[in-house]
Amino acid sequence: MLDKKVAELLNDQINKELYSAYLYLDFSLYYEEEGLDGFANWYKIQAQEERDHAMLILQYLQNNGEKVTLTAIAKPDKELKDKLQVLELGLDHEQYVTRLIHAIYDVAYSARDFRTMQFLDWFVKEQGEEEKNAEDMIKKMKLFGSDAKGLYMLNSEMAARTYSAPSLTL
């Protein structure tokens, strides 16, 4: 049995991860409307990753005999104004998710729930990668995004991203 508070936070995190998928799908739609199919592709894949994160947490709870309770997923409420702002919103959101993961880890640590801490280690590492990717995209957009050829190259780079499922074993 997992600590009650840890299980509750993990269950809530499923909803947060699914919201992240919705948010990134919204970002993808924005970029598609702007004619930037590469950026749209990047965020479609990001949405898939967030869905996978939710499923990993769901499976972890089930594997530990916990009941999973799904709740409504909020509609993304950010007004998407320009190419750079969307990327900045992405970084802000990743930093928020990192804080959520750290909070769960802190409660697991206090409860001496070593199994959950080990499970969350992958998410901690993943969040570091997510924040770095978001920061890099912002830097590149600031450097090259105002130039049509530079934006074309960035868009092509984003179009090359392919999906790969997480390699976390439960």
What's the domain count of the chain? 1
DSSP letter (8 states) at residue 73: P
Burial of 117 (0-12, 13-18, 19+ CB in 10 A): middle
pTM score: 0.94
In a domain, 168, yes or no: no
In a domain, 117, yes or no: yes
- Report pLDDT digits (tens) over 24-47: 999 999 999 999 999 999 999 999
For residue 4, how many other CB atoms are within 10 A of its CB? 10
In a domain, 33, yes or no: yes
Domain that holds residue 31: 4-159
Tell me the CA distances in angstroms from 13 to 35, 79, 115, 138, one per residue in order: 33, 24, 17, 26
Helix (H, G, I), strand (E, B) or coil at 138: helix
Averaged pLDDT, 105-132: 97
In a domain, 165, yes or no: no
**36 Cβ contact list (under 8 Å, min separation 6):** 83, 151, 155, 158
